[in-house]
Structure 1
Amino acid sequence: MYEFIKGSLEFVGPEYIVIENNGIGYQISTPNPFIFSSKIENNVIVYTYHYVREDVMALYGFETREEKRLFTKLLNVSGIGPKGALAILASGEVQQVVAAIENEDESFLVKFPGVGKKTARQMILDLKGKLQDIVPDYFPNLFNANQFTAQDIASNSAFEEAILALKALGYSDKEVKKITPELKKEQLSTDQYIKKALQRLLK
């Protein structure tokens, strides 16, 4: 809903910051609010994620889009909620987290607050190979070491975007998973993946 909020930084606390924009103060939970301390009363841009559930509605904010992307991916892992995802981002740099997941480094992941062996394993199962849209900016050599090409990374990113688009259209995880093996055989653009997927789904 909100891509980012730009405004004057009015408050920094242990759990959140407050940004004033057009007379409204937005309370935004961030991984480490105190990194903004030097910007009090200055204009800042915070990339936001609007979290809505039946019993809670909150804004989470990040310095970069890459942090925001990793946060949203962590939320898809069973056993990790917003507070857990924030703790992971606060305790480790984006490239460290991505590298640990790609290299299946459970011993590193369990160092984060609230992450035990079961959750660490779940992070690896759910996210390994699905973080290419984050890695190029933060850890460009990670996939070279694992023999990934730039074309592979672009294709995987397009595939992930296509899957998200299909789910947004209302297709279930079960329906999408059924056609995934066939889609992965080719390197296509996002639009091409979606068209091919729809052809299979509408048969």
Structure 2
Amino acid sequence: MIAYIKGKVSAVEEAGIELETQGIGYEVLCPNPYQFQLHKEVKVHTYHYIREDQQSLYGFKKKEDKLLFAKLLNVSGIGPKGALAILGSVSVPEFVSAIEQEDDKYLTRFPGVGKKTARQMILDLKGKLVIWLPDEENEETLFYQDDLTSGEKRQRIEEALEALKALGYSDKELNKVQPELLKAKEANVDDYVRQGLQLLLKS
């Protein structure tokens, strides 16, 4: 899996960018390609989408956008094109707020999202994205005031949860341990994974 690519933007097009690094040019599809400046060196967080008939590389300026993209792909009725359209027209906190408030009217504003798909997104994602809500909207994030920035700690916990999911734990199990991880002191991703495993073994 390609986590990110650092390189120089050699082309900016309507659907994405060309990113050159060490003599190799990567075609990267993006929600907002024009946020990347031509000939500038950038770090692009990437998601390698693999299917039997397709391989594509999707890129994002912020890691939280990449993580939300991955979450959206798990929703029935949402594919890469639809997920990009959502990320290209809304910030992550705004989208999460709509999910938590079950605002299907707001969600149906996105291209290709009807009422049925909006309800499916709410069903699949509600309660699983609150880690990205601003402090004033989610009291659970108040303890993030430590040596790490709020965004950094949120990303590390989310990566740890994704790693635990890859080990076979269900969303239901992970939702139970997430509040405890949120209350923990700052740590690296590996430490959060170990803490999560300890909590899962106790439950």
| Same fold? TM cut 0.5 | yes
Aligned counterpart for 1:100 among listed residues 87, 98, 101 = 98
Q: Which moved more, 1:123-132 or 1:107-116?
A: 123-132
The residue number in structure 1 matching 2:17 is 17
Q: CA RMSD in A?
A: 2.9
Q: 1:159 to 1:46 in 2, by over 3 A?
A: closer
- Select 2:198's aligned residue among 186, 195, 199: 195
Alpha-carbon shift at residue 68 of structure 1 (Å): 1.0
The normalised TM-score by structure 1 is: 0.77
**Number of the residue aligned with 1:150:** 142
Partners of 2:9 and 2:165 in 1: CA distance: 36
Give deviations 1:154-192, integer Å, cap 9, x for gaps: 9x9998666544432245x4xx74x679x4598356434
Deviations 1:56-103 (A, max 9, x none): 111100111111111111111111111110000112122211111111
**Offset, 1:52:** 1.1
The aligned residue for residue 116 of structure 1 is 114
CA contact (8 A) 1:70 1:134 kept: no
Q: Given the alignment, which residue of 127, 136, 141 partners 1:141?
A: 136
Q: Name the % identity.
A: 50
Q: Is the 8 A contact 1:162 1:194 kept in 2?
A: no
Q: Specify the SS of the correspondent of 1:187.
A: helix
Alignment correspondent of 1:35: 35
Could you give the per-residue CA deviations for residues 81-140 of structure 1, whole angstroms, max 9, x where no partner exists? 1111000011212221111111111111000001111111111111111113333xxx33
Matches within 5 A, 1:75-90: 75-90=73-88
The 1-side partners of 2:156 and 2:40 are apart by 37
Q: What runs of 5+ residues in structure 2 fail to find an aligned partner?
A: 145-149, 185-191
| Separation (CA, whole Å) in 2 of partners of 1:163 and 1:134 | 14
Partner-residue secondary structure (3-state), 1:52: strand
- Scaled by the length of structure 2, the TM-score of the pair is 0.77
* 1:10 shift after superposition: 0.8
Q: In the alignment, residue 137 of structure 2 is paired with which amino acid? A: L
Instruction: Flag the 1:59–1:158 CA change in 2: closer, same or farther, 3 A.
Output: closer
Q: In 2, are the aligned partners of 1:100 and 1:106 still within 8 Å (CA)?
A: yes
Taking the aligned partners of 1:80 and 1:18, their CA distance within structure 2 comes to 25
Q: 1:24 to 1:91 in 2, by over 3 A?
A: same
Query: Quick one: structure 1 residues 124 and 35, their matched pair in 2 at CA, closer, same or farther if it must change by over 3 Å?
Result: same
SS of residue paired to 1:11:
strand
Q: CA deviation at 1:197?
A: 2.6
Distance 2:167 2:110 in 1: 35
Matched-pair contact (CA < 8 Å) for 2:96–2:130: no
Equivalent residue letter for 1:150: L
The one-letter code of the counterpart of 1:143 is N
Instruction: Name the amino acid aligned to 1:132.
Output: V
Q: How many residues align?
A: 185
